Structure 1
Amino acid sequence: MLAEYFVTIEAIGLDLFFAFIFIFIGLSIHDVMTKNNVPKKGRLVVYLVLFLGCAGFIAKGVIQFIWESQGVG
């Protein structure tokens, strides 16, 4: 049974890994910015860049899902 779902388990595990990596990156960036008294405008830019990187991975996943469901990929 595990061999049948190996690809699915691997894909879910990779997605969770990327989610945890983004969370840890966000927490470390937040810690560095609070220790160095970064202005609000700088924090906004940093969080925007982090969000756009995360949104890129989400968009990739959605596009990949749509293409695979239509038989393109």
Structure 2
Amino acid sequence: MLAEYFEVIEAVGLNLFFAFIFIFIGLSIHDVMKKNNVPKNGRYVVYFVLFLGCAGFIAKGVIQFVWESQGVG
């Protein structure tokens, strides 16, 4: 049974890994900015850039899902 669902388990595990990596990156960036007294505008820019990186991975996953469901990829 495990061999049948190996690709699904691998894809879910990889997505969870990326989610944890983004969470840890966000927490470490937050800690560094808090210790160095970064102004609020700078924090907003840093979090926006981090969000764009995360949104890129989400968009890639959605596009890949749509293409695979239509038989393109």
TM-score (norm 1): 0.99
Aligned to 1:19: 19
Aligned to 2:2: 2
Structure 1 residue 43 corresponds to structure 2 residue 52: no
The alignment's C-alpha RMSD in Å is 0.2
Give me the whole-angstrom Cα distance separating, in 2, the residues matched to 1:72 and 1:3.
25
Give me the whole-angstrom Cα distance separating, in 2, the residues matched to 1:57 and 1:65.
12
How far the C-alpha of 1:20 sits from its partner, in A, is 0.1
Structure 1 residue 28 corresponds to structure 2 residue 17: no
TM-score (norm 2): 0.99
Aligned residues: 73
Aligned to 1:56: 56
The gaps in structure 2 that reach 5 residues or longer are none
How far the C-alpha of 1:13 sits from its partner, in A, is 0.1
Aligned to 2:70: 70
4+ long deviations beyond 6 Å: none
